[in-house]
Amino acid sequence: MYNRGIRGATTVTRNEEAEILQETAVLLKEIVARNEIEPEDICSVWITVTADLDATFPARAIRVLKGWELVPLMCSTEIPVKGSLPMCIRLLIQVNTNKSQREMKHVYLNEAKSLRPDLAASGS
């Protein structure tokens, strides 16, 4: 069994608690569905947000999902690079799996599709 990383990102239109929580949950659920993983397979989830998102901790959206109560979660702020995509939430999920690195399906939603058009276009 290997420890693999799965990336994902999404954006919101407003710095509002409800939208941040909703879009975080949508992103996580899409990553889980595309990769056919269970919370028990997850080692940890690293969550970053751009500095313009401070209305809530995105981890709150994950913590309330059934089966995710014990998965280690960590939130942080992205490096403030000039010209980077604003209003962005990113996830890095570390998962125990027998799948190869190439089999990991990364998910980019909303405006975050521009971060990795090569992966967003293929549905990977």
2 among the known binding-site residues? Answer: no
Q: Examine the residue annotation and report whether 78 is marked as an active-site residue of this protein.
A: yes
47-60 tens-digit pLDDT: 999 999 999 999 99
φ/ψ bin of 15: left (φ > 0), alpha (ψ from -120 to 50), beta (otherwise): beta
60 among the known binding-site residues? Answer: no
Model confidence at 122, in pLDDT bands (50, 70, 90)?
Answer: low
- Kindly report the length of the chain: 124
Averaged pLDDT score across all residues of the chain: 94
Q: Examine the residue annotation and report whether 116 is marked as an active-site residue of this protein.
A: yes
Q: Sketch out the chain's domains with CATH numbers.
A: 2-121 (3.30.1330.40)
The overall pTM is greater than 0.85: yes
From 4, 23, 88, 90, active-site residue: 90
- The stretch 16-45 carries a mean pLDDT of 97
Spatial distance between the Cα atoms of 2 and 55, rounded to a whole number of angstroms: 36
Q: Examine the residue annotation and report whether 4 is marked as an active-site residue of this protein.
A: no
Amino acid at 40: E
- The stretch 76-90 carries a mean pLDDT of 96
